[in-house]
């Protein structure tokens, strides 16, 4: 692999909580090539969101670093854009004004930003909705604005944290095909977190499987299915084989995680 | 308000007017309840003599002065308190205490301190309505959706940008709601302040009328105050809906 677009070296994160230290991520070494689409799957609470926030620079690692083009990430903004699970659109701003928030905050040329935003809104299928307000849109449309906003920020790297989790099953499938199309048209590097294994397999070049907390890289699975992919692929045996393999990798982890979450909730209730 | 709203309002006013007239006829006590016609007549008289305009002018100045000052101070203090936690911890108990106290009871004291002119009235109106504004401003600034904050931070917002582009717009509907609560308190403040001693004003008109057994004159003042109160509250409600339509989206009229 040539020099990776995004990499992490010995990335560790612990949180202090009520005087105790919770180790969430331990020694992650990950390399992602320019233009690659990589997904992360893992049991709930294994530190996937924390990992994205570290890579984005929203929080600082306890040790180790994340790098973009070989430079350590220190603050958010600029070369990485984050697509959050909740759309996080400012309700008092129109779709267009939400979409241009990245360039606006970074003091860029607003005329250019508006043109760029309009073209990305068209790309995600929202031409003509520029003047609408978020509360006038459906959940799927708001997630499209969320994506257009990240693209307009001009970042090469998109971090996406379960962006389709709140959508109904049909909308989610449509959004998956849309995302592969947008990804191939824009050539972005994408790091995508999901708890849906079939979503990870369908979208990705590679799937990283995390262990339970403290999150480590358990295994990486290359998805060698041909592109362009369409939804019919999901019914093919080689697709199912990938899904099964990943599910077997995390089944035990998920059971552990459920058991631990139950125990923690009980302990908290008894306190 | 749609045409349905107007129909409902006129219906409810019509019924109230009929009831009023019926009770007034049945009671036949001009000291307690006079016929609507008599109130209308007194209204015209008070206008022609110039008394009403003078009273309204005075009350308006007291209201605008006290309420305006409360808006200025309430919002600024809320903004400052939201920004400095140390200050907030120090001042918070006092704010909650004074908010719950019927500060209007301090009226006589204010007369002694500031005389019976505008100053004492404005001070009392200010004190009765500054706290809801302050508390709502503070609450609005402190309860910003964490997702929104994280989103703008991820796009590189500076603390200053976070404040002006997220916290303040998110707090605006709260602030307007605070104004809506205070506007009614401000009107009460005006009337009560004038009852403690004044030379003119709608509250003083009520006082004067009662002293001279002029029940019709008293109701003229009460009705004018009621109309002003409703108009202010409806206006602020309208602004609130314009500013934050998403907060009313999932609400049903019924
Ligand atoms: N700011 C924080 N302070 C304390 N603990 C945190 C914080 N953020 C996350 N955690 C803990 O870290 C663990 C991993 O969280 P997260 O990264 O959200 O997991 P995932 O996204 O994989 O479900 C959880 O146990 C969570 O409680
Ligand atoms: Mg998460």
Q: What is the mean pLDDT of each run of 10 residues along chain B (254 residues)?
A: 78 92 86 88 94 95 97 94 90 89 87 91 94 94 92 93 93 92 93 90 93 93 94 92 79 49
Annotate B54-97 with DSSP letters as a single string.
HHHHHHHHHHHHHHHHHHHHHHHHHHHHHH-HHHHHHHHHHHHH
Per-position b or e across B129-155, b if 16+ CB within 10 A of its CB: bbbbbbbbbbbbbeebeeebbbbbbbb
What is the ipTM score, two decimals?
Answer: 0.87
Pairing of strands A6-17, A157-161: unpaired
- pLDDT of A267 reads 87
Residue A189 in contact with partner chain B when CB distance is under 8 A: no
pLDDT in tens, B127-153: 999 999 999 999 999 999 999 999 999
Residue A130 phi/psi, 5° resolution? -55, -40
pLDDT of residue B247: 80
* Number of neighbouring beta carbons within 10 Å of residue B80: 14
Tell how many helices (H) and how many strands (E) occur in chain B: 11, 0
DSSP class of residue B166? I
| A59 has a chain B CB within 8 A of its CB | no
Give me the residues of chain A with pLDDT under 70, please: 1
The protein residue whose alpha carbon is closest to atom 18 in ligand 1 is A49
Tell me which residues have their CB closer than 6 angstroms to ligand 1.
A 15, 17, 22, 24, 42, 44-50, 213
Contact A105/B249, CB-based, under 8 Å? no
B108-B60-B39 Cα angle (round to 5): 95
> Long-range pairs for B114-118 at CB < 8 Å and ≥24 separation?
B116/B197, B116/B198, B116/B199, B117/B199, B118/B58, B118/B61, B118/B62, B118/B65
Q: What is the pLDDT of residue B103?
A: 85
Domains by residue range for chain A, with CATH:
1-79+155-237 (3.40.50.300), 90-154 (no CATH)
Assign B241 to helix, strand or coil: helix
Q: Which atom of ligand 1 is nearest to the CA of A22?
A: 5
Q: What is the pLDDT of residue B254?
A: 42
Tokens of A248: 């077997």
Which superfamily, per CATH, for B41-245?
MetI-like (1.10.3720.10)
Ligand nearest to the CA of A48: 1
The full set of domain ranges for chain B reads 41-245
> If DSSP codes are grouped into helix, strand and coil, which group holds residue A258?
helix
Closest residue of B to A133, CA-based?
B246
Chain B residues with beta carbon closer than 8 angstroms to that of A77 = 154-157
> What is the predicted pLDDT for the residue at B251?
56
pLDDT at residue A157 in the model: 94
Shortest CA gap B154–chain A (Å) = 5
Q: What is the pLDDT of residues A38-90, one digit of tens each?
A: 999 998 889 999 999 999 999 999 999 999 999 999 989 878 999 999 999 99
């Amino acid at each position: 692999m040539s020099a990776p677009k995004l990499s992490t070296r010995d990335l560790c994160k612990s949180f202090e909580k009520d005087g105790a230290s919770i180790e969430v991520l331990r020694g992650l070494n990950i390399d992602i090539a320019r233009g690659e689409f990589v997904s992360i799957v893992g049991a709930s609470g294994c530190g996937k969101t924390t990992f994205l926030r570290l890579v984005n620079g929203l929080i600082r690692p306890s040790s180790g670093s994340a790098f973009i083009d070989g430079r350590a990430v220190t603050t958010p903004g600029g070369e990485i854009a984050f697509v959050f699970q909740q759309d996080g659109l400012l309700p008092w701003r129109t779709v267009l004004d939400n979409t241009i928030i990245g360039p606006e905050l970074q003091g860029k040329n607003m005329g250019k930003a508006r043109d760029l935003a309009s073209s990305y809104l068209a790309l995600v299928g929202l031409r003509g909705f520029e003047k609408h307000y978020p509360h006038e849109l459906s959940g799927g449309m708001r997630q499209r604005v969320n994506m257009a906003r990240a693209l307009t920020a001009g970042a090469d790297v998109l971090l996406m944290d379960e962006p389709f989790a709140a959508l109904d099953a049909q909308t989610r499938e449509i959004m998956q095909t849309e995302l592969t199309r947008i990804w191939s048209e824009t050539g972005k590097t994408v790091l995508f977190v999901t708890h849906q294994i079939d979503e990870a397999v369908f979208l990705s070049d590679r799937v990283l499987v995390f262990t339970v907390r403290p999150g480590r890289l358990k295994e990486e699975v290359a998805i060698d299915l041909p592109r362009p992919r369409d939804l019919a692929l999901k019914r093919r045996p080689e697709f199912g084989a990938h899904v099964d393999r990943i599910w077997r990798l995390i089944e035990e982890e998920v059971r552990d995680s459920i058991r631990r979450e139950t125990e923690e909730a009980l302990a908290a209730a008894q306190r | 308000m749609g045409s349905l709203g107007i129909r409902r309002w006129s219906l409810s006013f019509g019924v109230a007017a009929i009831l009023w007239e019926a009770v007034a006829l049945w009671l036949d006590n001009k000291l307690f309840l006079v016929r609507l016609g008599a109130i209308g007549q007194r209204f015209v008289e008070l206008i022609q003599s110039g008394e009403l305009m003078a009273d309204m002018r005075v009350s308006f100045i007291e209201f605008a002065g006290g309420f305006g000052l409360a808006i200025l101070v309430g919002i600024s203090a809320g903004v400052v308190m939201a920004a400095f936690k140390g200050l907030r911890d120090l001042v918070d108990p006092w704010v909650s205490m004074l908010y719950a106290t019927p500060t209007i009871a301090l009226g006589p004291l204010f007369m002694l301190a500031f005389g019976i002119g505008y100053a004492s009235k404005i001070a009392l109106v200010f004190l009765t309505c500054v706290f809801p504004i302050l508390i709502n401003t503070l609450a609005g600034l402190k309860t910003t959706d964490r997702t929104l904050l994280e989103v703008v931070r991820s796009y590189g917002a500076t603390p200053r940008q976070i404040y002006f582009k997220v916290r303040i717009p998110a707090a605006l509907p709260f602030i307007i709601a605070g104004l809506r609560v205070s506007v009614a308190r401000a009107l009460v403040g005006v009337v009560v302040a004038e009852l403690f001693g004044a030379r003119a004003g709608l509250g003083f008109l009520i006082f004067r009328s009662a002293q001279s057994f002029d029940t019709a004159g008293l109701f003229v003042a009460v009705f004018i105050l009621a109309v002003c109160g409703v108009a202010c509250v409806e206006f602020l409600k309208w602004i609130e809906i314009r500013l934050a339509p998403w907060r009313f989206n999932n609400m049903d009229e019924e």
